[in-house]
Structure 1
Amino acid sequence: MIVLPEDQERALRTVGVVSYLLHAVVAVGAVIPSLQPGIVLLLIAIVLDLVKREEAAGTWQASHFRWRIRSVLWAGGLYLLTFPLWFLFVLPGWLAWTGISVWFLVRIVRGWIHLNDRRPIDEPA
């Protein structure tokens, strides 16, 4: 495992906190009706993660970049997969999207806790 200089590690942790914060705002907004912060925040977070992940390669923080990117990709795929439910049956569509949003929020909170503890996030889960 690569150990970065303290200032570089702190800078990457700051990127992680900002990214987790943006993800959390989007996830909470998806669960609470009428609070839709928009996909723009999520796009900012994912671009930030994609741009900065190489700096974390080989460190404990690399797992957090993978975690956030995979969380967004899975959630996005699941939203797309369940989108037709909104046209067929509103209630199942709402239930599916609420479930996906809660799952996404749990992943973000779990990752953020690990980041604050300066621990890598376990991939399986």
Structure 2
Amino acid sequence: MNESPDSPRAPDEGLVAWTHVIYGLHALAVLIGVTSAATVVGAFVFSLPSIVAVVLSYLKRGEAAGTFLESHYRWLIRTFWFAVLWGAIAIVVTLALVLTLVGILVAWLPVLVVGVWLIYRVARGWLALKDGKALARRPMIGRP
């Protein structure tokens, strides 16, 4: 017995493949946003590939329990929902800047920042998956 009780079990290779597919779907949504008239945030939140990816993440996360993939499914689901939140905030800030005529030249910045954050999240997660590593859970303020 070389494994300690706290060490994660090895995931099924099929589940690893599914996780790659999910990251690929999110990456496709980002690519759609980068190469089209849509924004990265808009494509990530509203495009079919990303919606399919988040549904698959919810369906597959139970199978990932106790493996390093568990952190990836948490990462993927949180990335989607935080994209919805930050995207909504970015749109409100952008509209406020445009309507006040103060920031017409910089009104695109909030959406750009969220788009770059999304690219980072998809790339970091997928690279960690490629290396067979879990994504570290950073402690939140007040979390034991």
Q: Shorter-chain TM-score: what band?
A: 0.7 to 0.9
Displacement of 1:44 after TM fit?
0.1
Q: Report the aligned-residue RMSD.
A: 2.2
Aligned to 2:56: 48
Decide which of 114, 121, 125 is 2:135's aligned counterpart: 121
Greater Cα offset, 88-97 or 54-63:
88-97
Q: What do residues 55-81 of structure 1 show as CA deviations (whole Å, max 9, x unaligned)? A: 000111100000011111111101112
Does the 8 A contact of 1:17 with 1:112 survive in 2?
yes
Match of 1:14 in 2: 17
1:27 alignment counterpart: 30
What is the TM-score of this pair, normalised by structure 2?
Answer: 0.74
Stretches of structure 2 that go unaligned for 5 or more consecutive residues are: 1-6, 99-103, 140-144
SS at match of 2:66: coil
- Separation (CA, whole Å) in 2 of partners of 1:31 and 1:116: 23
Task: Give 2:113's match in structure 1, choosing from 87, 99, 109.
Answer: 99
* Counterpart position of 2:69: 61
When residues 57 and 25 of structure 1 are mapped into structure 2, their CA distance, relative to the original with a 3 A threshold, is: same
Whether the 8 Å contact between 2:22 and 2:56 is mirrored in structure 1 is: yes
* In 1, Cα distance between equivalents of 2:106 and 2:15: 40
User: Counterpart in 2 of 1:3?
Assistant: 9
TM superposition score normalised by structure 1: 0.84
Which residue in 2 is equivalent to 1:87?
Answer: 95
Shift >6 Å, 4+ stretches: none
Shift of 1:26: 1.6
Contact 1:23 1:42 in 2 (8 A): yes
Matched, 1:71 2:85: no
The unaligned stretches of length 5 or more in structure 1 are none
How much identity, in percent, do the aligned residues show? Answer: 29
User: Whose relative contact order is higher, 1 or 2, with alpha carbons under 8 Å and at least 6 apart?
Assistant: 1
Q: 1:35, CA displacement in angstroms?
A: 5.5
Name whichever structure is richer in helix by fraction: 1
Larger Rg over CA atoms: 2
